[in-house]
């Protein structure tokens, strides 16, 4: 007489053990997931199998956009569905108030308003898929009992008219595992910003290509910026913009029109500056502008401050090759292109006169003419400065000499005129 109840009890116990093992197996898979897609997409059916429901939707929380999102397989790949955290959907309401919602009829306005006066069932999913939502159990996924990580939503109870307390307990168990997994994945995905994030964001280079370039740079093949330019054909200007965004300071590219204040280079070892990738560029009433490839290098910043004690420092970022070119130009050395930065001043003056005559012929109305940006003018200024620097001059004098122009430099030690 008692065999039947005992057999039934044994069967129930076996079912509980099997269910517990199933829950443990899926929980292990959840914690082993290396990214959100593995949980939202790959484990969808496994998690659904734990519940007495027709369908399941998993939402993750996007902290930046203050939305929850899910991903569903699509013909062309994966479709992302985003929902605002408001009362305009059951999942959004659950995310906003961090409380479960158990509804017997999603289309019953009375039942929705009994939960919250503003609560609405979002019918877009039903319209998009042809699915008819009836019962809904929506449960918040949280970490540390307070941080929103996502939402788990069961749709349509297979047996019965609504989800039961037992269903809620089962969902709570999985929601806790998902909360821990989502929290850990978010910590992993929160990588520190890098100097070249903008290049990847703007599709100038892929993350894999950038990683390879970093690896090549660490092997000593070349500096990273040169590898990006020469091997991966990334424009210099794009690299500069990315550096400027990361360091939050201006980017300055080498140009022969940019005149270096050579007075700031006195008493500084140019080879040392090239090796350490920084140089003083110019100064004004408020600060000295320092050009460097890494304004975030604290040791270098301290070195610069020791070099210019008591002065305000303003940083600009540049590529290593450009810093080297600036230094070569300012000191009359040969730049990386092999161009000798040691021209004859008289030749440049002759070229300047020729340019002026050409401009006058092209524009007799007087609207054109030479300005401070013309190549010969800039080269003349740079060459005179370079001559003065090499001769350790303290002053530069430019005077009219008949129909010509004469320039001479004064010695820093004696004050006498130097040959130029």
Tell me, letter by letter, the H, E, C secondary structure of the chain. CCHHHHHHHHHHHHHHHHHHHHHHHHHHHHHHCCCHHHHHHHCHHHHHCCCCEEEEEEEEEECCCCEEEEEEEECCEEEEEEEECCCCCHHHHHHHHCCCEEECCCCCHHHHHHHCCCCCCCCHHHHHHCCCCCCEEEEEEEECCCEEEEEEEEEEECCCCCCCHHHHHHHHHHHHHHHHHHHHHHHHHCCCCCCCHHHHHCCCCCHHHHHHHHHHHHCCCCCHHHHHHHCCCCCHHHHHHHHHHHHCCCECCCCCCCCCCHHHHCCCCHHHHHHHCEEEEEECCCCEEEEECCCCCHHHHHHHHHHCCCCCEEEEECCHHHHHHHHHHHHCCECCCCCECCCCHHHHHHHHHHHHHHHHHHCCCCCCCCCCCCHHHHHHHHHHHHHHHHCCEEEEEEEEECCEEEEEEEECCCCCEECC
**Each residue's pLDDT tens digit, 200-232:** 888 899 888 998 898 888 888 788 999 999 999
With 50 as the cut, is the pLDDT of residue 390 above it? yes
> Considering only CA atoms, which of 152, 138, 58, 142 is closest in space to residue 101?
138
Most confident of 126-130, 239-243, 337-341: 239-243
CA distance 61 to 70: 9
Percent of the chain with pLDDT over 70: 77
Give the pLDDT of residue 226. Answer: 92
Mean pLDDT, the chain, whole residue set: 83
pLDDT of residue 219: 84
- Show the tokens assigned to 221: 């093949």
- Could you give the C-alpha distances from 4 to 10, 11, 60, in angstroms and in order? 10, 11, 46
pLDDT number for residue 72: 86
Backbone angles phi, psi at 349, to 5 degrees: -60, -40
Q: How far apart are CA 271 and CA 87, in angstroms?
A: 66
pLDDT at 367: 47
Percentage, residues of the chain above pLDDT 90: 54
Q: Which pLDDT belongs to residue 359?
A: 56
- Tokens linked to 59: 């939402």
Question: How many residues does the structure list for the chain?
Answer: 420
Of 194 and 112, the one with more pLDDT: 112
pLDDT value, residue 372:
44
Paired tokens of 39: 């949980």
Alpha carbons 290 and 284: distance in angstroms, whole number:
12
**Residue 377 near residue 409 (C-beta atoms within 8 A):** no
Residue range 354-368: mean pLDDT, rounded? 53
Whether the Cβ atoms of residue 142 and residue 104 lie closer than 8 Å to each other: no
pLDDT digits (tens, 9 = 90+) for 120-137: 999 998 998 899 999 999
CATH superfamily of 22-189: GAF domain (3.30.450.40)
The average pLDDT across 308-321 equals: 95
pLDDT of residue 337: 46
- Both tokens of 226, joined, read 């040169």
CB contact at 8 A, 253 and 239: no
Give the integer Cα–Cα distance in Å for 105 and 134. 5
Residue among 57, 54, 53 at smallest CA distance from 68: 57
More confident residue, 385 or 159: 159
Question: Per-residue confidence at 19, pLDDT binned at 50, 70, 90?
Answer: confident
Question: Does the pLDDT value for residue 253 go beyond 90?
Answer: yes
Look at residue 369 in the predicted model and tell me its pLDDT.
47
């Amino acid at each position: 007489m008692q065999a039947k109840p005992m057999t039934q009890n044994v069967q129930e116990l076996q079912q509980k053990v099997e269910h517990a093992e199933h829950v443990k197996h899926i929980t292990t898979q959840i914690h082993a997931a290396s990214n959100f897609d593995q949980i939202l997409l790959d484990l969808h059916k496994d998690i659904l199998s734990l519940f007495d429901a027709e369908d399941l939707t998993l939402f993750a929380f996007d902290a930046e956009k203050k939305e929850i999102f899910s991903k569903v397989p699509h013909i062309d790949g994966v479709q992302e569905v985003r929902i605002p955290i408001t009362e305009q959907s059951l999942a959004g309401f659950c995310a906003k108030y961090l409380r479960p919602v158990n509804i017997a009829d999603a289309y019953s306005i009375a039942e929705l308003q009994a939960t919250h006066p503003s609560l609405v069932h979002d019918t877009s999913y039903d319209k998009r898929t042809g699915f008819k939502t009836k019962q809904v159990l929506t449960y918040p996924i949280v970490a540390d009992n307070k941080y929103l990580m996502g939402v788990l939503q069961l749709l349509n109870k297979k047996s019965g008219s609504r989800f039961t307390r037992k269903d809620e307990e089962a969902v709570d168990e999985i929601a806790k595992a998902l909360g821990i997994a989502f929290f850990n994945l978010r910590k992993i995905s929160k990588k520190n910003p890098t100097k070249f994030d903008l290049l990847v964001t703007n599709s100038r280079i892929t993350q894999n290509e950038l990683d390879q370039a970093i690896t090549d740079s660490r092997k000593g093949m070349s500096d990273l910026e040169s590898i990006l330019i020469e091997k991966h054909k990334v424009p210099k200007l794009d690299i500069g913009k990315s550096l400027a965004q990361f360091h939050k300071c201006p980017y300055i590219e080498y140009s022969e029109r940019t005149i270096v204040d050579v007075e700031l280079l006195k008493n500084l070892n140019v080879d040392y500056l090239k090796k350490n990738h920084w140089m003083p560029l110019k100064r004004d009433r408020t600060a000295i502008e320092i050009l460097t490839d890494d304004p975030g290098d604290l040791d270098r910043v301290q070195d610069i401050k020791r070099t210019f004690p008591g002065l305000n420092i303003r940083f600009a970022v540049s590529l290593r090759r450009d810093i080297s070119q600036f230094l070569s130009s300012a000191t009359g050395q040969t730049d990386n292109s092999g161009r000798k930065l040691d021209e004859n001043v008289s030749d440049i003056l002759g070229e300047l006169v020729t340019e002026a005559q050409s401009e006058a012929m092209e524009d007799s109305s007087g609207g054109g003419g030479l300005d401070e940006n013309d190549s010969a003018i800039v080269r003349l200024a740079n060459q005179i400065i370079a001559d003065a620097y090499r001769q350790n001059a303290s002053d530069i004098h430019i005077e009219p000499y008949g129909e010509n122009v004469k320039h001479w430099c004064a010695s820093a030690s004696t004050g006498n005129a130097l040959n130029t």
